[in-house]
Structure 1
Amino acid sequence: MQLLKNMSLALLMGLAATFSYAHGQIKHSKTTTVSIQGSTESCKAMIEKAGTQKKLSRLTWDAATQKAALVYNSHATSKDAVLKRVALAGFDNEGYNAPEETYRTLPATCWYKGAPEAMQPHAAHSETQQNDPSARSAEATAASALEPLYKAYFSINSALVQSDSKTVAQKAGELNGLVKAVKMGALNNDEHEVWMSVMNDLQKQAAALQSAGSIEKQRAAFAPLSGTVYKLIKASKLPYKVYYNHCPMYKGGANWLSNEQGIKNPYYGSKMMTCGSTRETLQ
């Protein structure tokens, strides 16, 4: 109990010192305390470097409490932006988890959730993958942890093409669950950075599509969802081609993604099945 009191006192003293200094250096300053995971004092410099920007933010982390004092310019940045940078540096926090790839590169003294055992299977199978094309293909297929999410999106697209409102609602429910289940640490670095910027919008858009009643409302909800999924797919490593298509007629212009070549318009279905064109091919 006494140890906890001493730790709390030390944190409060650190907060006071940080706030006093940073307030004089940062305009429009706002102060808060955030939780950031790290194993030892040796992680301190890495965490603080990631969360500190000249004249924008200052982060002071305490290893004993796993808490950090944050002062930031509320007109130019945000707590969310700081926590994203800390996660990308390899440290889980109250807002975001670090990419597994980045965690593996941390010094052993900073492994706050144990040794990165996930590295071993990659090393063990590297020679097999080089010599066996089917093994490389299997590895590529599993490259993105977002693959189930993409499959659900493509199923929604197909149901809209068929004007099948019931299936759209069912697949939108699956998508909504998959979005909530995504493990940030399993994403590659590029996906991870995009995911942090779109995950809130994606969850709202999936929920909106799930609750949309008629096929017309479903199609209206599908348009912004497609824009968000496009950003993610561009950051993913997929073993197949994805076609980014454009319909000039629907509400002044709308886009969608398909894993099949050729135009099948989800916004009009059989009324104007081939209306549109492919703007970009992603892989």
Structure 2
Amino acid sequence: MSKLKLVFGVVAIAFVTLTVVSCKDAKTESSTNSEIGTEEDHSKMNHDNSDGHHDVDKKEMTMSGNGNSQTVLNDYFILKDALVADDNAKAKGLGATLATTLGKLDISKYTDTQKADLKDIIEDAVEHAEHISESDIAHQREHFKVLSKDITDMVAITGTQNTLYQQFCPMYDGGSAWLSMSEDIKNPYYGSKMLKCGKVQKEIN
């Protein structure tokens, strides 16, 4: 009987030892896999997004050039998107941003005639951008209509690095146009009420 207990004891100790070793190995393997996974994820992040900045850099690179008229366009499109989303508060902030960007537009490389035209365009556009920064959304959209005309006139002089789409809503205020970087219609004058109201009038290259 004593011998049988001894055998059972030895077996029990062996089992416990084997279990501990197995858990330790599993933990080590799990830890190793976790480290490998982390390294792979980090490597992938660096490769695909450059630590999350790849897309931003690409956008900034696309929007650069032509003095800083592309920066004006970029701010205009962000403002347009805020109106599409019916976001009055965001549009106020973006109106102020656009007014500042317009005021910094470098027109030194243009001809005297172009400079004179750009000065008039900028002066008017800044006024409407400032009104947008202070108004309710209905008035923001009224000023955005004239602002869009100003930005279109600016592009006729400065050009654009990207293909733009002049879009038109026949329903708003007797017919109103705006610019977009996409052919998809997203109406800034009606937002969610009539998001798809409009058509592409022409491409601007």
Q: Which has the larger radius of gyration?
A: 2
Which residue number in structure 1 is paired with residue 165 of structure 2? 243
Matches within 5 A, 1:246-257: 246-257=168-179
Q: Between Structure 1 and Structure 2, how many residues are aligned?
A: 144
Which residue number in structure 1 is paired with residue 86 of structure 2? 163
Aligned mate of 1:179, from 102, 105, 126: 102
Larger strand fraction of residues: 1
Displacement of 1:231: 0.4
**Conserved 8 A contact 2:165-2:203:** yes
Structure 2 gap ranges (5+): 1-60
Percent identity, aligned pairs only? 26
Displacement of 1:237: 3.0
Matches within 5 A, 1:101-120: none
**Conserved 8 A contact 2:63-2:74:** no
Which residue number in structure 1 is paired with residue 37 of structure 2? none
Aligned mate of 1:279, from 190, 195, 201: 201
Structure 1 gap ranges (5+): 1-137
TM-score, with structure 1 as normaliser: 0.47
1:203 aligns with 2:89: no
1:192-226 CA-partner distances (Å, limit 9, x unpaired):
353133122112111111111x2111111111101
**Conserved 8 A contact 2:71-2:101:** yes
In structure 2, distance between residues paired with 1:227 and 1:174: 18
**Conserved 8 A contact 2:63-2:71:** no
In structure 2, distance between residues paired with 1:148 and 1:191: 19
**Conserved 8 A contact 1:247-1:277:** yes
Matches within 5 A, 1:76-155: 141-155=64-78
Displacement of 1:188: 3.8
TM-score, with structure 2 as normaliser: 0.64
Where 2:177 maps in the other structure, the secondary structure is strand
Where 2:202 maps in the other structure, the secondary structure is strand
Select the structure with the greater relative contact order (CA < 8 A; seq sep ≥ 6): 2
